[in-house]
């Protein structure tokens, strides 16, 4: 039986974040989660009344700040902070990506992670404890056509996270994580029908949750990948 830990996850309404919520709660962890979809947040809160879910857009800095203040005062700083929320552009060559969509992907995937780090990491540093995992991708270490904006953000996550790791005390960690390839709405957006050959989030999350709970400060700054199924 693992010791209960305080876990903050962004992007819990669906996909990997949603599956991790179920798995972590099954393992006895305490969860704080956010995403924008209010209905999904309401139903998560009804299903898990002892945990804390909020409709927060990670690109809204003042809302993220208020949410973080609430988290720290109600349950304390996170032991594990998972920056999972992200967006992908609809497949298109870079020169055909609508500028608003380009900006949106940058704002969610890079500025959103910065906003959450900025709001929560000082409370973790005060305790000199905690692990920050920023979700990267295979496309944070390689590239593919038609997803250039998304690739750019995930390469940015790799760099930003490794730089953050170099700033933290040795008792903490910041880790860029490639979760693997999993059948979610995001994968469907870029692969279409081919996404069906990949595991579902519920299949992925059992090994992934254990892997995340086993991360150690000594792994800080290492680009890691979740176990393959």
Say how far apart CA 40 and CA 46 lie, in whole Å. Answer: 10
Q: C-beta of 181: minimal distance to ligand NAP in Å?
A: 4
Closest-CB residue for ligand NAP? 15
Pairing of strands 52-55, 30-35: parallel
Pairing of strands 224-225, 130-135: unpaired
Given the complex with ligand NAP, which of 18 and 172 has the nearer CB atom?
18
In the list 121, 182, 208, 209, the residue contacting ligand NAP (rule: CB under 6 A) is: 182
184 binds ligand NAP (CB under 6 A): yes
**Cα distances (Å, whole numbers) of residue 152 to 107, 142, 145, 190:** 12, 10, 12, 15
Say how far apart CA 61 and CA 202 lie, in whole Å. Answer: 31
165 binds ligand NAP (CB under 6 A): no
Say how far apart CA 120 and CA 48 lie, in whole Å. Answer: 23
Given the complex with ligand NAP, which of 37 and 45 has the nearer CB atom?
37
Has 198 been annotated as catalytic? no
Question: Site size for ligand NAP, by CB under 6 A?
Answer: 31
Nearest-CA neighbor of 177 among 129, 140, 143?
140
Given the complex with ligand NAP, which of 157 and 168 has the nearer CB atom?
157
- Phi then psi for residue 12, to 5 deg, are -100, 5
Q: Which two tokens stand for residue 162?
A: 């490794």
115 binds ligand NAP (CB under 6 A): no
Contacts of 98 (CB under 8 A, 6+ apart): none
Q: C-beta of 169: minimal distance to ligand NAP in Å?
A: 26
Given the complex with ligand NAP, which of 20 and 213 has the nearer CB atom?
20
85 binds ligand NAP (CB under 6 A): yes
65 binds ligand NAP (CB under 6 A): no
135 binds ligand NAP (CB under 6 A): yes
In the list 94, 181, 206, 224, the residue contacting ligand NAP (rule: CB under 6 A) is: 181
In the list 8, 71, 108, 209, the residue contacting ligand NAP (rule: CB under 6 A) is: 108
Say how far apart CA 179 and CA 185 lie, in whole Å. Answer: 15
Strand partners, 9: 33, 82
187 binds ligand NAP (CB under 6 A): yes
**Within 10 A of 218 (CB to CB), how many other CB atoms are there?**
9
* Site residues, ligand NAP (CB under 6 A): 10-17, 34-37, 40, 57-59, 84-87, 108, 112, 135, 137, 179, 181-182, 184-187
- Residues marked as catalytic: 150
């Amino acid at each position: 039986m693992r010791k209960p830990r305080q876990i903050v996850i962004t992007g819990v309404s669906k996909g990997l974040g949603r599956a991790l919520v179920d798995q972590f709660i099954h393992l006895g962890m305490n969860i704080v989660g956010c995403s924008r979809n209010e209905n999904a947040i309401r139903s998560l809160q009804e299903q898990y009344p002892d945990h804390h879910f909020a409709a927060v857009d990670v690109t809204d800095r003042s809302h993220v700040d208020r949410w973080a203040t609430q988290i720290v005062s109600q349950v304390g700083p996170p032991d594990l902070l998972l920056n999972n929320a992200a967006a992908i552009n609809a497949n298109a060559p870079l020169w055909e990506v609508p500028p608003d969509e380009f900006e949106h992907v940058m704002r969610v995937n890079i500025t959103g992670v910065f906003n959450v780090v900025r709001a929560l990491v000082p409370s973790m540093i005060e305790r000199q404890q905690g692990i920050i995992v920023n979700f990267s991708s295979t496309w944070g270490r390689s590239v593919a056509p038609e997803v250039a904006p998304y690739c750019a953000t995930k390469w940015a996550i790799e760099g930003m996270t490794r730089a953050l790791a170099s700033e933290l005390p040795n008792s903490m960690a910041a880790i860029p994580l490639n979760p693997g390839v999993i059948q979610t709405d995001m994968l469907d957006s870029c692969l279409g029908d081919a996404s069906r050959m990949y595991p579902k989030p519920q299949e992925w999350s059992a090994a992934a949750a254990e892997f995340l709970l086993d991360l150690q400060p000594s792994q800080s700054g290492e680009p890691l990948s979740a176990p393959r199924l």
